[in-house]
Amino acid sequence: MAWLSWLVFVPLGLGRPAAAPPPGADPREPPVVDGCTVTVVGLPVPARAHHSLDVSGARTRLSATGLQVDLLHLEIVVRLVGPHYHGELTLHPRACTGGSVHVLRAWPRPAVLVIDGPKPLAVRCHQGGDLLATQWWLASDLPPIDVGHGRTLRCESKSPGFRPVAMRVPMLPGDNAVVLELEPLGG
């Protein structure tokens, strides 16, 4: 799986000259800064198209050319949002001086198995952790599963009036939809 970091330039300048503050200026006033760079790490290349950055409420796509935003906030939050990965970074103007670089780590979301099949449907997944392997779950009640950046689970499914089925389910972070067609008993 290929990995890539994206750089996002976030100028935080407040529109004031870079000179020293005038005498009598409020010392709590944030310093004038020239912006900083946010590097997104841990996001697989295929996931890039499905994720964006939320910078204090404004969404933008990940781009190799970077992002330039004029902000008037004392502090901003940069969030990675999307169906498979998430991450968050809070930047204060004092930390964004001299072209500093800040890292926003992409974390895989827990995997959720959504099965479209007969109701009620019971599921047990081996290699999904002790909780999933030791007991049967109603498909509608399956807990989230930590699959890291992705893995394949071996699961069993059964429903009254149908033959049980074993299946291998490739799982990615986030929602994973599976359509399950069971063979009726006696058919």
Residue 23, pLDDT > 70, answer no
Looking at residue 4, its pLDDT comes to 42
145 in the same domain as 55 = no
Kindly report, residue by residue over 85-144, the tens digit of the pLDDT. Answer: 999 998 887 777 777 788 899 999 999 999 999 999 999 988 766 677 888 999 999 999
Q: Which of 52, 86, 108 is the last residue of a domain?
A: 108
Q: Is this structure's pTM higher than 0.85?
A: no
187 part of a folded domain: no
Domain that holds residue 115: 111-179
User: Would the pLDDT of 34 be above 90?
Assistant: no
Residues 90 and 156 reside in one and the same domain: no
Q: Count of domains in the chain?
A: 2
Tell me, yes or no, whether 160 lies in a domain: yes
115 and 83 co-located in one domain: no
With 0-12 CB in 10 A as exposed, 13-18 as middle and 19+ as buried, what is 111? buried
Q: Who contacts 97 (Cβ-Cβ below 8 Å, separation ≥6)?
A: 31, 33, 34, 36
Whether residue 80 is found in the same domain as residue 21? yes
Dist. CA 37–CA 8, nearest whole Å: 5
- How far, in Å, CA of 95 to CA of 34, rounded? 11
Domain membership of residue 171 (yes or no) is yes
pLDDT of residue 58: 80
Q: Give the pLDDT confidence of 149-187 residue by residue, as tens digits.
A: 999 999 999 999 999 999 999 999 999 999 999 999 986
Domain boundary among 80, 108, 136: 108
Residue 94 or 33, more confident: 94
